[in-house]
Each structure stands twice: as C-alpha cells, then as structure tokens.
Structure 1
Amino acid sequence: MTTIDLPRIQDALRLGHGPRTLDVFLEPTCPFSARAWGKLDELLARAGAERLTIRLRLQSQPWHLFSPVTTRAVLAAASLPDGAAAVRAVLGAIFTHRAEFEPADHCSGEVLDRTPRQVLARIEALSGLALAAAWERPELTAAVKWQARHARQNGIHVSPTFLIDGLAVPEMGSGETVDAWLERLGLAG
C-alpha cells in the first residue's frame, strides 16, 4: 500500500455488519477499555454479526503516558493488508501486557525509561507484527487526527465510552454484563 487508506483503516476497526451500531471508544492502555474489549466478541456472537456493527474508536488520553504511541500502533496495524486481524493482535498484546505500557500510578516506575521507539518495538514483539514502517509514515497522522476529532465532536472524554446508533449512552460501562449490553442495544433474546 503506497498511501494510508482511511476507509480501509475504518473497515479494519469494524466488527459485524448489522444495521444496529455500537461505537466503542477505547484507550489501548486503559484497564476498563481492556475489560470492554474482552466482551466484544461474545457480544457480537450473541447479537449476530448480521444484526450488529461494532465500530472501534480510539480515545487517546493524556494521563496514560504512552497513549498516543499505542493508539498510533493500533492504527498502523489497521493499515496493514490484513488490518482487522492485525488490530486484534495489537490490542490483545497491549491489553494483556498493560503494565509494560503504563507507568505505575501513571507517573512512576521503569516504564518511564522507555522511549516511544522501544514501546513500539515491544508491541511488535508481543503481537508478532512488523509495525514500524506503517507507524512512521506521515500519512498515518491523518488517521490519528480523525480518531481524536471524531471523539471530540461526539463529546467523548474518557474510555470506554459507548454510542448506540450515534447517541452516547453514559450509563453503559465495561463493568456491565454482555446480557446488559444486549438489553441496551435492543438485541436480547
């Protein structure tokens, strides 16, 4: 791929193809985002891919020190030829090994000694994907900016945040069961 294809990146961040939509704003080093991420496959399986579309949105947050680096890594993965599988591998690697990407109490510990290049190399090692070439392409910045702009335009400030058919549902959270999510979506039963 010679240029970053924004529609292709958006496709890689989509699960399912149904008329009901759930936008899930995730931050790659957030433990609550990890908990939500861990329920999405079950949600889609139970709702049915023909009834539900889950759109992954990335919400970089400044209190997570390496949030911009990990967010860009996810988008770099999405730009790869098998972007959907690459996104799963990268998010899975980061969520599973969160302590390697987030300083203790957001401000201390060995993680502070890492450079962005070292963080990216660790994501590559854990995911088994070569991301550096895509990550370093200046055009990827457009995808990063799109995610930030989309979140701001929708009043998203924290992760995870959920939108059902374009409307924010502030009471929906990662601590809820998949059954509760299905109820909120009107897809239970």
Structure 2
Amino acid sequence: MALPPKFAGQAIVSGPIPQTVHTLELYLDYVCPFSAKMWKTLSDNIFPKLSQQYPSKVRFILRQQIQPWHPSSTLVHEAAAAVLKVAPSKFVEFSTKLFEQQKEYFDVNVVNEARNETYGRLAKLASSVGVQESEILKLLHVSDQPGKDGSLNSGNGVTDDVKLMVKANRLTGVHVTPTVLFNGIEEKSISSSFTAEQWNEWLEKNIV
C-alpha cells in the first residue's frame, strides 16, 4: 500500500529513511468508457507536466481492473500484461492506444470472434506502438491441445501475472471503474468527469 510522505518514518528499510511521494492509484478498465475519459484527460493534460510542476512529489499508478461482465475485458488486460513483460517502457503508450480504440473490443465487436483472433488483433495493436507483434501473440495464444500434464485449462503466458493483479485489487475492495486511491485511501471527490482544470486545482491543493 502507498505510504503518505508524512508517515515516511514508518518505513523499515536497510538504509536511510527513503523519500516518499504522494501516490494516486487509478483503477481503470480498458473497455470502460469512463476510464477512457479519465485517462485521456490525464494523458493529454496532466502527465506531460508532472515532472515540471511536481518534481519528485507525486506518482500515478495504473491498476488494471478487469470487469468480468465484459468478457473481452480480460483479453485486453492480458494484452497489456504481455506488453509489460515484453516492453514495459511501452506500457503507458499501449494503454493509451487501448483506451483510444476500446470500442473495437466492446461486446458487439468481439462476440462472434474466436479468442485467439481477438489476441491477434491486440498483438497487431501492440505493434503500432513499437512492440514486437510475434512476442505478444506468443504470450497471449491459448493452445487447443492439452498441456504436457494433461491440463485442459492452463491459460496462457500471462495468466499468472493477471492472477496477481486481480488478487492485489481484490484486497482493496475496489469495484467501480474508475476508482482513485490517494495514498492508499479512496478519493471519492475525483471522478471521470474531472476536467484538466479540476485536476490541476486538486493537485495544487493536495500535493504539498
């Protein structure tokens, strides 16, 4: 869990007390329109100016929040997990691309598509931000043959990573997307409708 800077002394480490920063955790789903709205505002107007306006004072963390009532939610989050494995420096850029093209993965647009076909489209999307398409597809592909141990439900190359993400998110009790946690506590005043001006006002007030 995030540690507020004023409680930095609570950290027990093998060296000097570390400098802590404020943490905003964004629980977002790639096929949630409200998540996309929040991400666009932040990526267009806030993230580019962070290092200048709040040097070493705040960080944002994108928490991938799978919403299972949209079956494709798992697939697009798996694709992002694959990018994290193959090219972590491209994760934010790929996330932006997923949000921009999220309608391509809404229920109506995937319902008649085989799972591995959707993975193919996602791997190609990853290539548009400079990630090797074949490497992503290799991680996402699900075999139609039993595993070496006879398993018929062995998942793919990012299944274990997704399990860890889901486990961590469940501990917070987050349900709705988007949800924002500020230094480990839900910040209910922040909503998807926040404008760039409102974000700036909130940051000026709370990042000290």
- Which TM-score applies when normalising by structure 1? 0.76
CA displacement 1:92-151 (0-9 Å, x = unmatched) = 332222222012xxxxx3521012211111112223132112335856323211211121
2:33 maps to which residue? 31
Task: Give the fraction of aligned pairs with identical amino acids, expressed as a percent.
Answer: 25
- Residues 56 and 18 of structure 1: CA distance in aligned 2, closer, same or farther (over 3 Å): farther
- Residues 132 and 22 of structure 1: CA distance in aligned 2, closer, same or farther (over 3 Å): same
- Which TM-score applies when normalising by structure 2? 0.70
- Residues 184 and 79 of structure 1: CA distance in aligned 2, closer, same or farther (over 3 Å): same
Paired residues in the alignment total 166
Q: How does 1:71-90 map to 2 (within 5 A)?
A: 71-80=77-86, 82-85=87-90, 87-90=91-94
Q: Which runs of 5+ in 1 are unaligned?
A: 1-16, 104-108
Task: Name the Cα RMSD after superposition.
Answer: 2.4
Task: Report the CA distance between 1:157 and its aligned residue.
Answer: 0.4
* Alpha-carbon distance between aligned partners in 2 of 1:32 and 1:156, rounded to the nearest angstrom: 15
Q: How does 1:68-147 map to 2 (within 5 A)?
A: 68-80=74-86, 82-85=87-90, 87-103=91-107, 109-128=108-127, 129=131, 130=133, 131-136=136-141, 138=156, 140-147=158-165
The one-letter amino acid paired with 2:122 is I
Contact map agreement 1:89 1:127 (CA 8 A) in 2: no
The one-letter amino acid paired with 1:43 is I
Counterpart among 148, 159, 166 of residue 177 in structure 2: 159
Deviant stretches of 4+, over 3 Å: 136-139, 182-189
Question: Which of these two proteins has the greater Rg computed from alpha carbons?
Answer: 2
* Alpha-carbon distance between aligned partners in 2 of 1:124 and 1:89, rounded to the nearest angstrom: 14
